[in-house]
């Protein structure tokens, strides 16, 4: 007698979209922040990347960046952004953009913030782009 057995294989999840152009990094970052996708955010950085966040703190490498981004996502931010520019030379790009964000305040009212980004990205062997230096608000004081 044959019994019905359910497959024990894991459910396939669709692969995350990758940055095919350096200008893709900021929209992907915003999308993943709004989706609370920590691992998707970390995937946007190279192994030895640096992130200057919060102001005055440099996170070095993926583990430190993951810790900073985990704390950032815990505040439940909602972001929007408008890419501004990308300047390329070979496998390097300097990108910049504008962002706005709302974070729920302690009283339930949203706290509004905005800033200007600057990132250095590098083309990977597979043709995608990842950040190597991320300055999410170069107008903030350190």
pLDDT for 140 equals 65
> Got the DSSP string for 33-78?
HHTT-HHHHHTTEEEEEEEE-STT-EEEHHHHHHHHHHHHHHT--E
**Structure-token pair, residue 28:** 């992907």
When comparing pLDDT for 141 and 22, which is higher? 22
The stretch 95-103 carries a mean pLDDT of: 95
The torsion of the CA quartet 79, 24, 84, 112, rounded to 10 degrees, works out to 10
Look at residue 14 in the predicted model and tell me its pLDDT: 59
3-state secondary structure of 7: coil
pLDDT digits (tens, 9 = 90+) for 36-83: 999 999 999 999 999 999 889 999 999 999 999 999 999 999 999 997
Residue 142 gets which letter from DSSP?
A: -
Mean pLDDT of 92-101: 96
């Amino acid at each position: 007698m044959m019994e019905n057995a359910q497959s024990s294989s894991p459910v396939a999840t669709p692969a995350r979209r990758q940055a095919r152009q350096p200008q893709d990094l900021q929209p992907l970052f915003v999308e993943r922040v709004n989706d609370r996708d920590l691992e998707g955010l970390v995937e946007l950085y190279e192994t030895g990347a640096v992130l200057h966040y919060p102001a005055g703190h440099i996170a070095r490498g993926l583990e430190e960046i993951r810790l900073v981004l985990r704390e950032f996502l815990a505040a439940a931010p909602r972001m929007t952004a408008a890419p501004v520019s990308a300047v390329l030379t070979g496998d390097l790009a300097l990108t910049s953009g504008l962002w706005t964000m709302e974070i729920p305040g302690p009283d339930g009212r949203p706290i509004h913030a905005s800033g200007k980004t600057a990132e250095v990205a590098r083309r990977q062997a597979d043709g995608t782009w990842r950040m190597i230096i991320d300055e999410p608000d170069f107008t903030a004081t350190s």
